[in-house]
Structure 1
Amino acid sequence: MINRSYKSYINLYESSYFSKDINKAIYKLGKYNKGLLYVNKIGESVQGTPILSLTIGRGSTKILIQATHHAREAITTILLLDQINYLLSLYEIDYSINNMSICNLLKYVTFVFVVLVNPDGADLVFNGGDFIPQEYKDKQYLNESLFSCWKANINGVDLNRNYPTMYPSIDSVIAPAYKSCKGPYYFSEPETYALKCLTEKYRFDGTISYHSSGEVIFWQYNQLNIERDLSIANTISKETGYNLEIEKEPVTGSGYKDWFIENYQKPGLTIEVSPYVGEKKVPIENYKDIFERNKNVPILFAQEVFYKTI
């Protein structure tokens, strides 16, 4: 049975049980789109919440799109769920973009979406101390005044500082904190280890990491084929209206996109979707514009990667 209507999941952005309700929505998508969309558990968070992937398509070009490495950036989880539902609705009517029908695209491309990389952190932002397990109650870094701006997981590790790169982020810290802690060792956290294993399994041809604040696209990490990756980034910049960040090499960073580009020499983007809002959640009123700018991004990115990497 194929999903026949597009709807938004933005109501979940105000959920009292965010990660639980997101996973319920994912399982429901799988239930009502059997044969087209497949749900898999790729790992668990520190607190045991399943980290789920959704796979659409059967092509040899494999694209990973993931969101909410940073806890306060969960507007991107809503965006990915809506992108998935939008893609399903286009498939139903065999809509074409750039003279390629969505049905044909899904013959050439396999999409893997991981909509909520950091469920524990997101629950902390949405509900504060209600989601702190008893064994963590005495952790000094879990300061209630910081919960609204939290980026890390429940261990106080910034997941986007937990990937090994040749030129790591220069602003990382060692001690657990609400942001910037790189962890005791690379891939120390079950959330980043799950992404590592998923990537090694699929050996993706391209990836998009969605983040929340700044309206900018980061696309560099000292890659060899800079002309190819710049061309792909320009296509997404044109679609979204977000500026491309041009950085002086060597580019530093310890995020998923940086690790992916360095290890696989394939195109990777980090997309910041909202105007800059500071250290807090993106206001819900920003979402309509975010979705309109980004709804076609997975399709356009997949087409670009397919044509430029085959």
Structure 2
Amino acid sequence: MSNKVTVLGSLNVDTILRIPRLPQPGETLKMDDIGVAGGGKGANQAISAARSKSHVTFIGGVGNDVQGEMMLKLLKEDGININNVAKLNEGTGQAFILLQESGENSIVIYGGANQAIKTTVIQNAMNDIKDSDFLVAQFETPLEVTNEAFKLARELNVKTILNPAPATDILDELKKNIDLIIPNETEAELLTGIKVVDEDTCRQAADKLIDQGINNVIITLGKQGAYYKTKDGICELVPAFKVEAVDTTAAGDTFIGALVSKLDTSFSNLREAIIYASKASSLAVQRLGAIPSIPYKDDVEKQLNNK
């Protein structure tokens, strides 16, 4: 049975600058190529969930512009419900991605309409949230909107998943309403003060987050894999699938969307869901682009069966 997922998040038009490496301060560097595509953590995660056969509703905002129409079209193409995407006076969000030859990337974002949505969008989306198994959010929309959404989800017995990116301090009020948090190693360090480099430091960071009232933690570690720990003390580092990465832009977002599609609301199958999500992410990083690289469920399961 397919999960019902509501994603509260960002819709960005990505400008991808392909460069040999990051420039030094004061250095001018020639680009190898430039491209424009749809993206945003929210959009990527929603599309990843949809391609893994979840029924997805999106909550967010776009500008009343060409870029906004482009983003709405992309969501609709993957069967995502866009009834709760507000059209606002601010411009549609944008991201500028510096993609190095190594496949690693650095990203700068302009919030635009993503940062202009109000808590009223959450009340307007109440019925869709109520009908969901999971509510997923990041930090590319206003914190007060996320806080309101998670508070409502808890009242409605809908499980919540937070991807704390870009990393920022989390309100205590929000922490108590998070069922699962998924930071990467950098975000985990910023949230806990613990430099995450291996399984032991993952455990320390996860313990600190659980002590703050968060029930379940997954820390993604790129090539090393993903470490998870539950409030019941179950924990493990699940290794990543070894592949040659050409573009890591959508790796984390693909992981989250795939994970929420496989996850049981009891969180009893975390390990199984992480393995599925890791395979989806490993397929995404072997392809160029964010949304174009996100795999479909059949592709992921075929690769898992061929392991």
Q: Scaled by the length of structure 1, what TM-score is found?
A: 0.30
Q: Scaled by the length of structure 2, what TM-score is found?
A: 0.30
- Bigger proportion of residues as helix: 1
- Bigger proportion of residues as strand: 2
Higher RCO, 1 vs 2 (CA within 8 Å, ≥6 residues apart): 1
